[in-house]
Amino acid sequence: MSGQHSTYEPKTGFTRWLDSRLPIIRLGWDSFIDFPTPKNLNYWWTFGGVLAMCLGIQIATGVVLAMHYTPDAGLAFNSVEHIMRDVNHGWMIRYIHATGASMFFLAVYIHMLRGVYYGSHKAPREILWILGCVIYLLMMATGFMGYVLPWGQMSYYGAVVITNLFGAFPIIGKGVTTWLWGGFAVDNPTLNRFFSLHYLLPFMIAGVVVLHIWALHVPGNNNPTGVNVKSKEDTIPFHPYYTVKDGFAMVCFLILFAVFVFFMPDALGHADNYVPANPLQTPAHIVPEWYFLPFYAILRAVPDKLTGVLAMFGAVGVLFALPWIDHSKVRSMRYRPAAKLFFIIFVLVCVGLGFCGANPPDKPLFGDGGIGFTLGDANLNSFVWLSRFLTAYYFAFFGILFVLGFVEKPLPVPDSISTPALSEKKG
């Protein structure tokens, strides 16, 4: 895949026979054994392996859950409880799957932020980055539809709110929502198609992951310095160096995963989802899963519904253009002090937006509402105004990156990967 000279030598008669017909062992060898990898990758780089593990766990547990789940509006809720109560270790499989979704998103956010910080989206890795964005979009769709399947109150009203977003588009909106629902409301046909797609999309993700790894192995890994690999001295083979390092990180990640699965399995969910869906009783506060909260906050920050929907989709859409927005010649923000500062603020803003998404928009930030004054349609001392400021920064960050590409004075960049590593050891 890498275009490098292959070092694979089939040793037995069978492997020689196979290699001249389907060189699949050679492919695996060149990709995951002998693949030359920069020797200075830090632990932020282990999340690629963690994500592959998450996808595997979700597919394996999901296939078993589908054996016991019934996608019918009248039976779905109780079939999930049947898994929890009567299926052998069903509770564990379901908790792993439900917690696994959160862990998957946690890892993907770290993976994406790592990419932005170290400039992994820049040439020659634009396609690699865009494929990653496609995977992220597919994950969002899969996660959303999976949350609908237990058919609890939050499942139902989450589906109602998200599908109604498409109703904001003029002319086509109404038709699109009816088409998505398979009827005139969220009901049994909606649940059925969500189940079908929830089973399909993970395999599409797996397909795009193959492309993602392919696109990674052509230019090879970026690294914390952002400097290109110059000589053989800069790299080490993937195995055993990174298999053992990634393996260690994966097991550490599994420890966090297990703490949630076995000791606080419902901490990341919502109590209302243990109440069966009731179309006639809207919950007081409809909130999505935590990993969608920043986008939910952006949606609610904008008073006009269509603009809000566009802003929410735009918040994901802008990522696709990042390789051309962030055009600084220096890849790694290690050597870009200004960009680094704005990046740290950006991370805090994303967390802040998540916080806003979890709280009712008109809830005061400080005190019980006595403080502050009304600005426009809401009190300035409220989550809706906070989310407006944070949304403004979210989008401004990309503008700042674009401008910084022209005006920023980066620090001196090392000549090669080996130089800083060796000098740091000596000094």
Partner 1 sequence: MLRKTTVLAAFGFALALVGVAAPASAATTEREPKEASWSFEGPFGKFDQAQLQRGYKVYHDVCGTCHGMNLLSYRNLADKGGPFYSEKYPNPNDSPFAKAIAKDFQVADIDSETGDAIQRPATTSDHFRQPFPNEAAARAANGGAAPPDLSLMAKAREGGPRYIYSLLSGFVDPPAGLTVTPGKYYNPYYQGDLSGFWTGAKDKVPVGGLIGMPPPLHDDAVTFDDGTKATIDQQAKDVSAFLAWAAEPHQEERKKTGFAVLIYLAIFAGLLYASYRRVWRNIAH
Contact residues: partner 1, CB under 8 A: 39-40, 78, 81, 84-85, 91-92, 95, 160-161, 164-165, 167-168, 177, 183-187, 236, 240-241, 244-245, 247-248, 251-252, 254-255, 258-259, 261-263, 265-266, 271-272, 274-275, 279-280, 282, 284-286, 299-300, 302-305, 308, 360-363, 418, 421-422, 425
CA separation for the pair 380, 371 (Å, rounded): 9
Give the pair of three-digit tokens for residue 344.
């740290």
Nearer to partner 1, 34 or 326 (CB): 34
Single out the residue of 241, 223, 217, 240 nearest to residue 421, CA to CA.
223
Nearer to partner 1, 37 or 328 (CB): 37
Dmax (CA) for the chain in angstroms is: 82
At its nearest, how many Å lie between partner 1 and the CB of residue 35?
A: 16
47 CB contacts (<8 Å, ≥6 apart)? Answer: 107, 108, 110, 111, 114, 249
HSE-up of residue 407 (Cα within 13 Å, Cβ side) = 8
Nearer to partner 1, 138 or 165 (CB): 165
Nearer to partner 1, 168 or 197 (CB): 168
Cβ atoms of 331 and 122 closer than 8 Å: yes
The strand pair at 36-38 and 235-237 is best described as antiparallel
Nearer to partner 1, 9 or 86 (CB): 86
Give the pair of three-digit tokens for residue 392.
């403004």
Nearer to partner 1, 129 or 181 (CB): 181
CA separation for the pair 27, 30 (Å, rounded): 5
At its nearest, how many Å lie between partner 1 and the CB of residue 250?
A: 9
At its nearest, how many Å lie between partner 1 and the CB of residue 161?
A: 5
Q: Is 139 exposed, middle or buried (0-12, 13-18, 19+ CB in 10 A)?
A: buried
Q: Name residue 276's beta-bridge partners.
A: 152
